[in-house]
A and B are shown apart, each in its own frame.
Chain A
């Protein structure tokens, strides 16, 4: 029901999970998930640890393909071309070219700042030095870290502070102009000030890219997201506009979690 009302409020969809099941070997980690992802909006996934929110997030760029024994069932439709991201016919590399990801722990490559941001461009075969320079600069500006690193682009990225590393990872993901950006608890390893910077960045980024963010910090979900989904034990319990979910949750379990009685 909530799904239907949300869809009418914001018609443009970027992606949509349809009867999506996921298995780690024989263990079913996600159960019949149906959920829209609205274009150029921030959608937050909340829920207690182990509820499957990260598993769900990592399905959008087929990260599970890296490990043996994982299995998808159902569909994640990707718009505007209406591709099923999970189809075996769809090359996971093509998916990852369109869906960027920022991880829980900043994971810059042990390379220079410049090479980190240029990485995705080089993967795509970009060799023109001017184009690389321009795109790296634009991405670093987009991730609000340009002013801090513009004079030391050749320094090792791993020497940056944790918050800077995470913004660098966002720049790295932005450099290739993804259509959907996945954030897997991007601030859980950061201090409050760095967290604030990332949240502000997420808010700005939704002008140009659709964002799906996993967080176990409900204040964060309330601050940054337009839509929120509450997951529990591999199921999508409730999805709706963030204000609705936090002010008048329909499901008892959502209410318990949000009010701190559970989780």
Chain B
């Protein structure tokens, strides 16, 4: 107080400075709050993932206390609910991989071709019309696709292959592929449109045709984006549930033949989760072991995708 009075000349400045500091402090505080909110939002998704992994791993550990890992990986039967229980996960993995392979054999070529057409050939009006419609296809509930596979695609396929059973990996896989096409096409098209026009002009100026430009300049330049879209497609295929539950049959069946019915990891989980399994029983724990396997498969493909992206990254 006294010193304030003593230093009279700077006094008029002092409140200004402290005001400014006060404002600064306010701003600082609100920045802090925002930052905390943003962090919390980010943390929710990370914590969810951590929580899921924790539950899967902890329940699976209990499962593997009663079933050996070797048996789990090598047994050729999957009958966890029978008296003579077998836990051969390869049975479910084979169904998952076969149906995914069929789906990707449809989705990747078709999605890429559609993306090339939309990005390099279609005139802007067609593109503006076609892209939203295509994306709409991705919004159809998968249960609808499942019954489409069961009631329309399977009978059609049976006209070509009379021996095809009413439930098959082929039919479910084909429809699953159609479901994934929009994701692959849309993301691939984004990746190709992000290729700068100057590269296309460079190719055209050399006498390149549209097709040559698309295949030799745009696709290679966009490859890391294309790979990302393929990986997303694989993840969708491996994780897809309803179409397979409805149209592929749910018999655990170790087969690499798409013409047969089979259960996949996801359709098994649906089937078992619908029943009333006692908590803590071995049948209940198989859900988590199967879920963990699914998680590891998708993780594997994601790592593969990251590696592909880095290997083929072409900077322009």
Chain A residue at minimal CB-CB distance from B208: A123
Contact check: which of A63, A105, A176 meets B204 at CB < 8 Å? A63
5 cross-chain pairs, A with B, having the tightest CB-CB distances, nearest first: A110-B314, A120-B206, A101-B205, A107-B198, A97-B207
Q: Is the C-beta of B57 less than 8 angstroms from some C-beta in chain A?
A: no
The main secondary structure of chain B at its interface with chain A is: helix
Q: Is the C-beta of A93 less than 8 angstroms from some C-beta in chain B?
A: yes
Q: Is the C-beta of B217 less than 8 angstroms from some C-beta in chain A?
A: yes
Q: Is the C-beta of B31 less than 8 angstroms from some C-beta in chain A?
A: no
Report yes or no: A105 in contact with B220, Cβ–Cβ below 8 A.
no
Q: Is the C-beta of B203 less than 8 angstroms from some C-beta in chain A?
A: yes
Chain A residue at minimal CB-CB distance from B123: A68
- Counted as pairs of residues, one from A and one from B, with CB atoms less than 8 Å apart, the total is 71
Report yes or no: A110 in contact with B316, Cβ–Cβ below 8 A.
yes
- Give the residues from 8 to 53 in chain B that come closer than 8 angstroms, CB to CB, to chain A: none
Report yes or no: A66 in contact with B201, Cβ–Cβ below 8 A.
yes
Tell me the bound Cα distance from A105 to B196 in angstroms. Answer: 12
Report yes or no: B220 in contact with A63, Cβ–Cβ below 8 A.
no
- Give the residues from 47 to 93 in chain A that come closer than 8 angstroms, CB to CB, to chain B: 61, 63, 66, 68, 93
Report yes or no: B209 in contact with A93, Cβ–Cβ below 8 A.
yes
Contact check: which of B201, B204, B205, B221 meets A110 at CB < 8 Å? B221
Which residues of B are found within 8 Å of A63, using beta-carbon distances? 201, 204-205
Contact check: which of B196, B206, B220, B315 meets A96 at CB < 8 Å? B206
Tell me the bound Cα distance from A120 to B216 in angstroms. Answer: 11
Contact check: which of A66, A103, A111 meets B220 at CB < 8 Å? A111
Which residues of A are found within 8 Å of B196, using beta-carbon distances? 107
Q: Is the C-beta of A100 less than 8 angstroms from some C-beta in chain B?
A: yes
Which residues of B are found within 8 Å of A108, using beta-carbon distances? 202
Which residues of A are found within 8 Å of B203, using beta-carbon distances? 109, 119, 123
Report yes or no: B202 in contact with A110, Cβ–Cβ below 8 A.
no
Ordered by A's residue number, 25 sampled pairs between the chains whose C-beta atoms are within 8 Å are A61-B205, A93-B207, A94-B207, A96-B204, A96-B205, A96-B206, A97-B207, A103-B202, A105-B198, A107-B199, A109-B202, A109-B217, A109-B220, A109-B221, A110-B314, A110-B316, A111-B314, A119-B216, A120-B206, A122-B216, A123-B203, A123-B206, A123-B207, A172-B206, A176-B206
